[in-house]
Amino acid sequence: MIAIREATLTFDNATLFRDFPNKPYNANKKLVLSIAIPDGYEHIGDVTVSAWQPGATLEPIAISVATVIEEHTGIYPYADTSASRNAAEWCVNFADRWLFNYGEGNLLAQDELQIAEHPVSSCLRHAMATTSVAPMTRDSAKDDAPRPLLIRGILRHVHLDTTNGLYGNAFAYAPADDVIAACTSIKPPTISNIIAMDAPAGGDGVYKHETLLDIWTTAITAFYGAVCEAKACNGDASECIIHTGWWGTGAYGGNRTLMAIMQLIAARAAGVTQLIFHTVDSAGAANFATAYALPGLETFLHADTLDPKAFLQYCAAQNFRWGVSNGT
């Protein structure tokens, strides 16, 4: 088995907001929360989180699904689809080792934007800290091995448009009127499913083998977990759609070509039906096109049986080098 379910917890949304409240200390985060969850709001439903441990991630894998790979020049749409309502459509969270760790502070990067739009996420982090299932995307008892967390059925209450200069460090000091104008309340809230996975950070020079292995193990464990969740909810014939993007390449300084191809091949190996790669802008689209056309990658994109060890050797042979953090 590629990945192993460690544990699953389900929480009632009303209990989460009452007993483990979201408490942003940044004024603009408080403003967004007040729009997302106005006074007197009656919470309904629940949210489920599962922790996943790597399994046989390096054994040859028979490819059983012809994964459709699609590039989208933009950001996640969070469309209200039957797939999203039934745990068959997932969005990658560019997580920290601590789940949803910076959502209550000043920063608004990809992780924090998801938290702002899904406000119960901060409550979930606080609640998990009181259980035996730690809110961590790495396992400190196993030398920080990847431990992706999958959050199923989380409600999205607000859309926060960051295209007018609110992304990153600028958000904390933006005028309140600009923040209000950027927010659209979602009534009723839509349902999202989130894959929280932590990328390696802050390296330099050529990637080391152990870092390549960490990236691969994280991505295939997380994506396989999403496939398992979709099948558990909908049956073995269920589709599994994953939205992702430049995971680990912003503040963490990862190499865009490497992080893209790792996710493409991990999706094929995990049995994902469709991988939609959101490249944000035209520069990102060009970066993705370069990655997809990398000489030799087609061998792994079309193989009937994927050999992860051979793929990692291929990646090592490219001598990928670390980039530089973008400061967000």
Domain boundaries, the chain: 3-317
Q: How confident is the model at residue 88 (pLDDT cuts 50, 70, 90)?
A: very high
Q: What does the alpha-carbon distance between residue 30 and residue 130 come to, in Å, rounded to a whole number?
A: 24
The HSE-up count of residue 153 (CA atoms within 13 Å, CB side) is 16
Q: Above 90 in pLDDT, residue 328?
A: no
pLDDT value at residue 257: 98
Helix ranges (DSSP H) in 185-279: 209-234, 256-270
pLDDT value at residue 327: 81
Pick the CATH number of 3-317 from 3.30.70.100, 3.40.220.10, 1.10.40.30, 3.30.379.10: 3.40.220.10
**DSSP state for residue 251 in the 8-state scheme:** T
Q: How confident is the model at residue 303 (pLDDT cuts 50, 70, 90)?
A: very high
Give pTM, 2 decimals.
0.97
- Mean of the pLDDT values across residues 139-154? 97
Q: What is the mean pLDDT of the chain?
A: 96
Percent of the chain with pLDDT strictly greater than 90: 98
Q: What does the alpha-carbon distance between residue 212 and residue 200 come to, in Å, rounded to a whole number?
A: 9
pLDDT value at residue 152: 98
Which sign, positive or negative, has the C-alpha torsion 99, 105, 108, 114? Answer: positive
Q: How confident is the model at residue 177 (pLDDT cuts 50, 70, 90)?
A: very high
- Mean of the pLDDT values across residues 128-137? 98
pLDDT value at residue 141: 94
Q: How confident is the model at residue 262 (pLDDT cuts 50, 70, 90)?
A: very high
pLDDT value at residue 143: 95
- Mean of the pLDDT values across residues 86-113? 95
Q: How confident is the model at residue 315 (pLDDT cuts 50, 70, 90)?
A: very high
Q: Name the burial class of residue 274, with classes exposed (0-12), middle (13-18) and buried (19+) by CB atoms within 10 angstroms of its CB.
A: middle
Q: Above 90 in pLDDT, residue 281?
A: yes
